[in-house]
Structure 1
Amino acid sequence: MPRLGFRRSLPSLSLMPLLVLFVAVGAAGKGDGGLRFQREGGTFKVLQVADMHYADGRSTRCRDVLPAQRAGCSDLNTTAFLYRLLRAEDPDLVVFTGDNIFGENSTDAAKSMDAAIAPAIAMKLPWAAVLGNHDQEGTLSREGVMRHLVGMKNTLARFNPQGVEIDGYGNYNLEVAGVEGTLLANKSVLNMYFLDSGDYSTVPSIRGYGWIKASQEAWFRQTSSSLQQNYTGGQPRQKEPAPGLAYFHIPLPEFNNFTASNFTGVKQEKGISSASINSGFFNTMVEAGDVKAAFVGHDHLNDFCGKLTGIQLCYAGGFCYHAYGMAGWSRRARVVSVQLEKAASGEWQGMKSINTWKRLDDQHLTTIDSEVLWKRSSNS
């Protein structure tokens, strides 16, 4: 689908002096219809927003900011950061990876979700979301939170696959078609998987956070297999499966497998806050063969990417101001830009590479840690 002009100027917003301007953008945005790579540039860009922890707006105070930043700092600083990012990056899809609201401090969970997602809706951008471990701790159950999310404007989130017995709420996939008018216009060139990683263990003998269950892994395997068959079997036949990206909230135990020598970014938490058991989802992704990168939130002070058995495991870094962070360490978000190959004829083909960087909520929206997560020539 073509990109439509909506680049209405927004004011430059920063934490200092923390006089937050709440701006609603009403200009025309992306066209309706399915997700598709852009003709100009052959790219598809995803903005990941992790751990907004939104509550009651202006009355919800900030945590872990510098003393000079405290006065007037609230949820509206989170909103301002999101507006700045959307304007700067102009993503094709926004993905909210859980703890979108902080239910415990929210007076009305539905209103908090509406306010948290409002910038993406105001700018008419397609968006998707999964649940974290704090979304359901307010006036709506976990099921209720997801049902509200899938009923909001411009959402591509789904409650669960129809006709499938599956754990959790918000397990679904999205397909990104090739450039309109090319041979791959009707094929999914990029597959995106979204899973509910749970909240807390419901097994009395197992303490800690939840995990991706066997029913979800079975759905993922079947979906991945079907998508791969469609891509390599249907005309025009492709030699390799279309690459995939996975998004969920709680990191897998495999995120523990990195040291400063084999990742890009920072690892500042005392430990990886994964489930205390390993349900095997990482191995399931490896066996499926199409997922090239998985993206999570949950641990706000980690923002690294590390490669394990052919899959990049990435944190986004904490986004919000109403949650723990680190004073003087900027809130941040992760951008992923997927690039298509171009034939000698000039026609866009299948995927060439997956690139990523992070944006900081500082005066200049500084870009850091740009890296290539995957490229076809690497045989990853």
Structure 2
Amino acid sequence: MNRRSFVTTSLALSSAAAALPESAPGRDALRCGADGLFRILSISDLHYTPRIDTHGIALAERLIDTEKPNLVVVNGDCLSGKDSQSEAELRTSIGYVAAAMEKKQVPWAVTFGNHDQEHFPKTQIGKDAVLAMYSAYPHNLNAGYRQGLHGAGNKHLLIWNAAGTQPVYCVWLLDSNDYFQDGKNRPYDWIHTDQILWYYQTSVELEKQHGAKIPGLMFFHIPLCEFNEMVNHAKIIGTRQEHESPSPINSGLFAALLDRGDVRGVYCGHDHVNNYMGRWRGIELGYDGSLGHYTYPHVEPDDPSNLHVRGGRVFEITQGAPARHKTWMRFKDGSKNWESLSDAFTRDHVKD
């Protein structure tokens, strides 16, 4: 390549990169590295309160140092909301959620779990205002979410190739809401029809805009009913130490994902001592474990049982035609489970 061609190509790439849509207002687009890789770390069930969880924050920092993610998703129950009795206490708790990512200067975003808003009877601070608190942190990407839907924070984030010319993956963040009143009972809420329509229509628009369906990973807190179907009929990799706790209402999100055929994996928190993944009707369903040390399993922070229970799930996306991802759990003891050791064995083991 002669100098003129090199300069022309460089300028074209720079122009393409400059034109990329922001991941959030004032935040750079998310892009694969020069090696074509992009890593996501998903952690959940921090259950932070105004009383600092030094062990949880230290674990988040250690996971970031080990896996070097390009994005961290805090996948619900970021807070034990009822322990924040005032705006000041709420801001303190949110500050602890932000601490590890802001210290390490890693882009991050949250989804809401069923416990996050339990401060509301005392604080009267709604979800949009809470997200504004999160969004004020320099590396947070929650701003710019779709307004007017059930819950808050429903959003998609595009991950672009290293050259900045094509999106290779889409990260979907949904609010699985909290509870609904059913007679005398208050079971878990569901992902509502307007949220599903927003996903479906946005997915169609992205395909039209970029000429192909964009593979995706979807994150929300409360698992779907289909998790139960999977564990009863298919193989899983990882630990299942409690029954799944989905909403009793099947809202049809999984059917919409099957119809569109772009989301390759759905990952949740909620059930703290589950960290498995499997495949059901062609879609990965899994958990990201738990991170906080002041929630169940209720053992002291230095108890050895924490070493292979608490941690986070990693997703490594490789750009290509098509782009692909693989996933594994990274635990407090520094180990990772054998999902990552053999792609062929994993594919064989989790056939549905």
TM-score computed with the length of structure 2 as normaliser = 0.81
Deviation at 1:189, TM superposition (A): 1.3
| 2:203 and 2:213 in contact (8 A); partners too | no
Q: What SS does structure 1 have at the residue aligned with 2:338? A: strand
Q: Decide which structure has greater helix share.
A: 2
Asked if 1:98 corresponds to 2:76, the answer is: yes
Q: 1:222 to 1:339 in 2, by over 3 A?
A: same
Aligned to 1:230: 209
Q: 1:169 to 1:202 in 2, by over 3 A?
A: farther
Asked if 1:111 corresponds to 2:92, the answer is: yes
Q: Counterpart amino acid of 2:50? A: D
Of 170, 177, 189, the residue aligned with 2:153 is 170
Q: 1:129 to 1:193 in 2, by over 3 A?
A: same
For residues 185 and 199 of structure 2, what CA distance do their matches in structure 1 show? 24
Deviation at 1:258, TM superposition (A): 2.9
Q: What do residues 196-253 of structure 1 show as CA deviations (whole Å, max 9, x unaligned)? A: 0001114548741011000001100111111112222xxxxxxx52211101010001
| 2:63 and 2:311 in contact (8 A); partners too | no
Q: What do residues 125-179 of structure 1 show as CA deviations (whole Å, max 9, x unaligned)? A: 11111110111112343333223222322111136325xx311111011011111
Q: RMSD of the alignment, in Å?
A: 2.4
Asked if 1:188 corresponds to 2:158, the answer is: no
Deviation at 1:32, TM superposition (A): 5.8
Q: What SS does structure 2 have at the residue aligned with 1:258? A: helix
Of 97, 103, 118, the residue aligned with 1:137 is 118
Aligned to 1:354: 325
Asked if 1:33 corresponds to 2:28, the answer is: yes
Of 38, 48, 59, the residue aligned with 1:81 is 59
Asked if 1:44 corresponds to 2:29, the answer is: no
Q: Counterpart amino acid of 2:328? A: W
Deviation at 1:329, TM superposition (A): 4.3
Deviation at 1:55, TM superposition (A): 0.9
For residues 265 and 98 of structure 1, what CA distance do their matches in structure 2 show? 21
For residues 184 and 206 of structure 2, what CA distance do their matches in structure 1 show? 38
Q: Counterpart amino acid of 1:34? A: A
Deviation at 1:56, TM superposition (A): 2.3
Deviation at 1:57, TM superposition (A): 3.4
Asked if 1:216 corresponds to 2:195, the answer is: yes
Deviation at 1:291, TM superposition (A): 0.1
For residues 210 and 369 of structure 1, what CA distance do their matches in structure 2 show? 34
Deviation at 1:335, TM superposition (A): 0.4
TM-score computed with the length of structure 1 as normaliser = 0.75
Aligned to 1:155: 140
Matches within 5 A, 1:315-326: 315-325=287-297
| 1:98 and 1:130 in contact (8 A); partners too | yes
| 1:150 and 1:159 in contact (8 A); partners too | no
Q: What SS does structure 2 have at the residue aligned with 1:217? A: helix
For residues 122 and 151 of structure 1, what CA distance do their matches in structure 2 show? 15
For residues 208 and 119 of structure 1, what CA distance do their matches in structure 2 show? 33
Q: What do residues 297-340 of structure 1 show as CA deviations (whole Å, max 9, x unaligned)? A: 00001111110111101100111101112641431110000112
Deviation at 1:50, TM superposition (A): 0.8
Q: What SS does structure 2 have at the residue aligned with 1:48? A: strand
Q: Where does structure 2 lack aligned partners over 5 or more consecutive residues?
A: 1-12, 14-25, 300-304
For residues 291 and 202 of structure 1, what CA distance do their matches in structure 2 show? 31
Q: 1:154 to 1:195 in 2, by over 3 A?
A: same
Asked if 1:289 corresponds to 2:261, the answer is: yes
Deviation at 1:100, TM superposition (A): 0.5
Q: What SS does structure 1 have at the residue aligned with 2:231? A: coil
Q: 1:223 to 1:202 in 2, by over 3 A?
A: farther
Task: Give the number of aligned pairs.
Answer: 306
Of 211, 224, 236, the residue aligned with 1:263 is 236
Asked if 1:254 corresponds to 2:249, the answer is: no
Aligned to 1:28: none
